[in-house]
C-alpha cells in the first residue's frame, strides 16, 4: 500500500482527523442532498464537533462504520450526530457507550474494515432518522447504488469538508470483477470487499465509514481507494453481506 505520510499529515490536520494516507475512505462530483433522502446517514465527530467519519444507523442504538475510523479514539471522545443534513448543527448529538471493530481487521490489507458503535442513548426513528437494513447478498455488478457523506470534493487539494450532505450515484462492481484485469487493483481486492465505480465520481476524504446503499439496503461501508475518482480505480468498500453475521452479533 502506498503511504505518503509527511504530505498527508498536513491534510490530516487541515481536515480534522482524516487518515494520513491514500487508503482513506473517499464524494467527488456529487450533488447536495438531504438527510430526509438518506436518513440512515450519521456523522462521527470528536467532542470538539469535528467530523471525522460517516456511519449508518441500523437499530435504535447501533451504528456501523469502518474499523479504520476507530483506531485513534476512545469511546469518550466520540459523538454521533443523527438526523441532520448539516453535520455542524441540527438533529441530535449523542454520546457513545462503547465501540468495537472486527478482530480480523488488518490495516495493511484493509480486510474486515468494519466497526460497530453503541449509542449511550437509544434514538427512535423519525422522518430524518431511519434504520437501514443490512444486505444479505452482494448485488450484481452494474447494480446502481448511492454513496453519501460530508467528505472533501477532490483529492489532496480540497482541504475543506462539505457541511451539507453530498450524494453520488455509482455502480456496484463485485469482488471478482474488481480484482480482474478490467481494473487496476488486482490482488489487493480481498474477500470482505466490494467495489463501486462511475467515471469521475467517487467518495473522498472524510466519507470513510459511510454508507453504500443499493435497493434500500446497506451493501458497503466506505473503506479505501487510490485517490478519489481516478480512472480505473473504483472506490473500495467493506462488503456488508460477508460481514453481516459479525455486525449482528455486536448489535445484539
Give the active site residues: 68, 113, 208
The secondary structure element, H or E, covering residue 14 is helix 5-15
Report the alpha-carbon angle 104-110-116, nearest 5. Answer: 60
Question: Residue 234 burial (CB < 10 Å; 0-12/13-18/19+)?
Answer: buried
* First-last CA distance in the chain: 35
User: What's the Cα-to-Cα distance from 35 to each of 28, 43, 93, 120, 179, rounded to whole Å?
Assistant: 18, 11, 15, 22, 33
Please tell me what DSSP assigns to residue 12.
Answer: H
CB 39 within 8 A of CB 83: yes
Burial 70-108 (b: 16+ CB within 10 A, else e): beebeeeebbbbbbbbebeeebbebebeebbbbeebeee
Residue partners of 164: CB distance under 8 A and separation at least 6: 32, 33, 85, 86, 150
| CA separation for the pair 157, 217 (Å, rounded) | 33
Phi, psi of 115 (to 5 degrees): -140, 165
Amino acid at each position: 500500500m502506498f503511504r505518503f505520510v509527511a504530505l498527508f499529515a498536513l491534510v490530516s490536520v487541515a481536515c480534522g482527523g482524516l487518515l494520513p494516507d491514500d487508503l482513506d475512505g473517499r464524494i467527488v462530483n456529487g450533488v447536495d442532498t438531504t438527510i430526509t433522502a438518506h436518513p440512515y446517514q450519521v456523522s462521527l465527530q470528536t467532542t470538539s464537533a469535528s467530523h471525522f467519519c460517516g456511519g449508518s444507523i441500523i437499530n435504535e442504538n447501533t451504528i456501523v462504520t469502518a474499523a479504520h475510523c476507530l483506531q485513534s479514539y476512545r469511546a469518550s471522545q466520540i459523538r454521533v450526530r443523527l438526523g441532520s443534513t448539516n453535520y455542524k448543527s441540527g438533529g441530535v448529538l449523542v454520546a457513545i457507550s462503547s465501540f468495537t471493530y472486527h478482530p480480523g481487521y488488518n490495516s495493511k490489507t484493509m480486510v474486515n474494515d468494519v466497526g460497530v458503535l453503541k449509542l449511550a442513548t437509544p434514538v427512535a426513528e423519525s422522518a430524518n432518522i431511519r434504520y437501514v437494513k443490512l444486505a444479505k447478498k452482494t448485488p450484481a455488478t452494474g447494480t446502481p447504488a448511492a454513496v453519501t457523506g460530508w467528505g472533501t470534493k477532490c483529492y489532496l487539494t480540497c482541504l475543506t469538508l462539505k457541511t451539507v450532505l453530498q450524494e453520488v450515484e455509482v455502480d456496484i462492481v463485485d469482488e471478482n470483477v474488481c480484482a480482474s484485469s478490467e481494473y487496476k487493483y488486482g490482488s489487493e481486492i480481498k474477500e470482505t470487499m466490494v467495489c463501486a465505480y462511475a467515471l469521475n465520481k467517487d467518495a473522498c476524504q472524510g466519507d470513510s465509514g459511510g454508507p453504500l446503499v443499493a435497493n434500500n439496503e446497506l451493501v458497503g461501508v466506505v473503506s479505501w481507494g487510490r485517490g478519489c475518482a481516478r480512472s480505473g480505480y473504483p472506490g473500495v468498500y467493506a462488503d456488508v453481506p460477508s460481514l453481516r453475521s459479525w455486525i449482528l452479533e455486536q448489535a445484539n
